[in-house]
Amino acid sequence: MNMLARLRQRLVVVGNGMAGAMALEEILARAPGRFDITVFGAEPHGSYNRILLSPLLAGDIEFADIVTHDAAWYAANDIELMAGEAVIQIDRTSRMVRGERGTIRDYDLLLLATGSDPVVLPISGADRPGVFTFRDIADVDAMRAASRTSRRAVVIGGGLLGLEAAHGLCRNGMTVTVVHVMPGLMERQLDAMSATLLAQTVKARGISVLTSASTAAVLGKDRVTGIALTDGRTIPADMVVMAAGTRPRSALARAAGLECARGVRVDDAMRTSDPLIHAIGECAEHDGVVVGLVAPIRDMAHVFAQRAAGDFTAQYSPAVAATHLKVSGIDTFSAGDFLGDDKSEAISFRDIAQGVHRRLVLRGDRLVGIAMVGDARDCGWYFDLLQRGADVSALRDALAFGAAA
């Protein structure tokens, strides 16, 4: 080892998903040559874009199309990649981590970017063959293989992930039913009218939707034959996909004695209760909030990299969250306080025939919330008004009709 290498700090990144990859890119840009970097990833390949798992499941693209950082990228940037090896222990006293294959690496700075785990409902039959989750490449490969011999699928969960899974399975030629426990789809992103219109549009695309429906059990002996609902109804199925949410992957941090609630607790500097260990992404909990959207995770990676590069003034300040996705080919967007309260008013535009609904929530003369289904072309314009806190009093009469009006 030469003198330069000995002077470098040792950075270990646990987790090779989008959050970890974003942090690496920022570190390389801000502090090239400052760290000897080792990355542990539980999956046996480089980093990829999880947002594109739905079109991958649908067969519209292949895995190579969603890879963001392949083995050659790590090698070119002198990063040691331990692909296919999860970390099973953090020794804070010795400042080292141990991988499941016995690999040991010391650290001066440790970044946890372990992501989240899919929620598997604690119901009878949840471990039966034919039950899948939808979180990574292995899940997609397993579902695509099963869809070749299965004809009917039930997706439990009507959030973003569940609707994307349903769309992908439908594109594979399966008859699909979405079962959602809440009265409306995507209740975290949409108001009631937007959710109703979304459900109608999803149904028009050949996917059945049951809302206010709670799953009691997965049926079958050797493999799945359907599900039973708590109201006594049964739905036949050859495949069941659990898409009922995620939980932060924090077991490793808990075992190391780091402070955790839902996720690994971090401060504005992304530091955990151990100042040498940071956490970002879906495993991190900041001010009681766990995020799963790309924009705030990118902000977390940005703050971590700035501080690792020597800028100790950088602090994470959550911005207004926005969600913009094409769910089953349906454009949806939401941001801010789209439900409103007794101190706000809502302006709505509706074109049921075209499957379009737009809800704008104002408090005084400021736009504070947006929910859109079917046509989100003006989402950037609305979001800019919201973020700037712009006075929209002069635009009020035409606001619902978009930027052109």
Segment 81-106 mean pLDDT: 98
Segment 36-42 mean pLDDT: 97
Tell me what pLDDT residue 3 has. 47
- Residue 376 clears pLDDT 90, i.e. is over it: no
Calculate the alpha carbon distances from 85 to 44, 45, 70, 72, 91 in Å: 8, 10, 16, 18, 17
Per-residue model confidence as pLDDT tens digits over 235-284: 999 999 999 999 999 999 999 999 999 999 999 999 999 999 999 999 99
- Residue 86 clears pLDDT 80, i.e. is over it: yes
Segment 221-228 mean pLDDT: 94
- Centre a 10 Å sphere on the Cβ of residue 204 and count the other Cβ atoms it contains: 11
Q: Residues of the chain with pLDDT > 90: what percent?
A: 74
Per-residue model confidence as pLDDT tens digits over 318-328: 877 777 777 76
- Residue 1 clears pLDDT 50, i.e. is over it: no
94: amino acid identity, one letter: S
- Residue 381 clears pLDDT 80, i.e. is over it: yes
Segment 301-313 mean pLDDT: 95
Q: Enter the tokens of residue 347.
A: 């302006």
In this structure, what are the phi and psi dihedrals at residue 257, rounded to the nearest 5 degrees?
A: 85, 15
| pTM (2 d.p.) | 0.89
- Centre a 10 Å sphere on the Cβ of residue 11 and count the other Cβ atoms it contains: 23
| Structural domains present in the chain | 3-117+247-308 (3.50.50.60), 131-242 (3.50.50.60), 322-401 (3.30.390.30)
229: amino acid identity, one letter: L
Contacts 24+ apart (CB under 8 A), 230-237: 235/154, 235/177, 235/179, 235/210, 236/152, 237/130, 237/152, 237/153, 237/154, 237/177
Per-residue model confidence as pLDDT tens digits over 155-191: 999 998 899 999 999 999 999 999 999 999 998 888 8
**Do residues 242 and 143 touch, judged by C-beta distance below 8 A?**
no
What's the mean per-residue pLDDT of the chain?
Answer: 92
Tell me what pLDDT residue 173 has. 92
Query: In whole angstroms, what separates CA 238 from the centre of its chain?
Result: 27
Tell me what pLDDT residue 6 has. 54
Q: Return d(Cα 287, Cα 268) in angstroms, integer.
A: 9
Cβ neighbours of residue 232 closer than 8 Å, sequence gap 6 or more: none
Segment 374-403 mean pLDDT: 88
Tell me what pLDDT residue 162 has. 93
Tell me what pLDDT residue 328 has. 67
| Cα–Cα nearest to 293, from 15, 16, 18, 14 | 18
Does 292 or 226 have the greater pLDDT score?
Answer: 226
pLDDT tier for residue 74 given thresholds of 50, 70 and 90: very high
